[in-house]
Amino acid sequence: MKNIFNHQLINLRRQKQLSQNDLANKIYVSRQAISKWENGDAEPSLEKLINLTEIFNTSLDFLILGHDDKNEKIIEIHDLKKAFDKPVLNGVDLDAYSHDRIALLGSNGAGKTTLFNLIVGLTSKDSGTINSYINNRKDLSIMAQENLLIDNLKVIEQLELSASMYEVEISQLDNLMKQFNLYAYKNNYVASLSGGQKRKLSLLMSVMRPSKLLLLDEPTVGMDLKSIDFFWKYMDHIGGSIITITHDFNQIDKFFSKVILMKNGKIFKNVAVNDIHSHNQTIEQWYRYFNDEV
C-alpha cells in the first residue's frame, strides 16, 4: 500500500495547498505522523484513512490504490434565463460533478441566489434547461441566505421537525447539537438565539443527512470568527458536491476545487483553483482582478 498511498497523499496535500502541519491539525495527528506516512515509514489507521478521504473529497480506492476516481455529473444547466423587473440570468451554462467544491462568486445582483432558487425549484425559469441526475428530494440540501427557522419553536423541536422531514434518527440530534455547540440551548426558543447561533442551527439542519449536492448561500454571514473556523473545519468532512456563495475569503483557498465568477447574469469565469494558484494568486486576488474587469 505504501508505494501508492504515500505518493497519493503528497500529491493531494499539495493540490490543496496544505502543509504537513495543516493536514495534521485537520485530522488530529502529529506532523511527524504525516511525515512518516508520506515517507512510507508508517501507515494510517482505517479511521484516519477515512478522515483523509473526507478532507480530499475522494475515494479510498483513489487514495490507496490510485484507481481513477469516478466523478459523476450531478447537474447540467444550459442557457438558463430568468427575468423579474429586468433580466437577472442571461444564459447560464454550468455543470457540477460529484466531487466538485465550487465557490460561486460575484457582486450583489449578479444572479447567484436566483441560480440557487432555480436549481432547488423555488422559482421557475423563463427558458433554458436544468437537468438533475440526482433525486432532489433525498440528495439535495440547502442552507439559504436567510435563516429558515421558526422562532416559536425550541431548538430541539426545530431539529426534530427537520429530522422527521429528512428521515434522520432522532437519537442523533444530541450528538449533532454537541458538535455545533448548541446542546446547552436545546430547550431555548429559536427566537432567543444570537445571529451566529441561528446560522449554526441552519447549517446543522442542512448537513444532518448526507447529500450528493449541498448548496450554501453566504453560510458564514453573522458568524463570529470561532464559528467561522468551526464551519470550514466541519466542511472538510462533508462528502458529495458543494456549491457555496461566499464573500468570505478567510480559508477558501484550502477548500474549493473550482471557482465560478458571475457577472451580469452570466458565467464570466469558470476555473480550477489549481490554475489560480499556479499564477501565484489567491482566490481573493483573482476575484478582485476579474470582478473589476469591464
- Whether residue 104 sits in one domain with residue 11: no
- Spatial CB neighbours of 33, under 8 Å, sequence gap ≥ 6: 24, 42, 44
Map grid coordinates 506532523 to a residue: 31
**Residues 104-139 pLDDT 10s:** 999 988 999 999 999 999 999 999 999 999 998 899
Among the three residues 65, 86, 110, which one is the final residue of a domain in this structure? 65
- Whether residue 77 sits in one domain with residue 60: no
Specify the 3-state DSSP secondary structure of 202.
helix
Task: Give the three cell numbers for residue 226.
Answer: 470561532
- Whether residue 146 sits in one domain with residue 24: no
- Whether residue 256 sits in one domain with residue 187: yes
**Residues 145-166 pLDDT 10s:** 888 899 999 999 999 999 998 8
- Whether residue 174 sits in one domain with residue 32: no
Looking at residues 191-196, what average pLDDT do you find? Answer: 92
The domain of 130 spans 73-291
- Whether residue 134 sits in one domain with residue 256: yes
Among the three residues 19, 45, 65, which one is the final residue of a domain in this structure? 65
- Whether residue 77 sits in one domain with residue 59: no
Give CA–CA dist 280/277, Å, rounded.
Answer: 5
- Whether residue 160 sits in one domain with residue 39: no
For the entire predicted model, the pTM comes to 0.83
Strand partners, 141: 214
Percent of the chain with pLDDT over 90: 60
- Whether residue 122 sits in one domain with residue 53: no
Domain count of the fold of the chain: 2
Among the three residues 20, 35, 65, which one is the final residue of a domain in this structure? 65
In the predicted structure, residue 1 carries a pLDDT above the cut 60: no
- Whether residue 47 sits in one domain with residue 183: no
CATH number at residue 22: 1.10.260.40
- Whether residue 222 sits in one domain with residue 150: yes
CATH number at residue 165: 3.40.50.300
In this prediction, residue 2 has a pLDDT band, given cuts at 50, 70 and 90, of: very low
Q: How far is residue 161 CA from its own chain's centroid? A: 24
- Whether residue 137 sits in one domain with residue 216: yes
Give CA–CA dist 44/26, Å, rounded.
Answer: 14
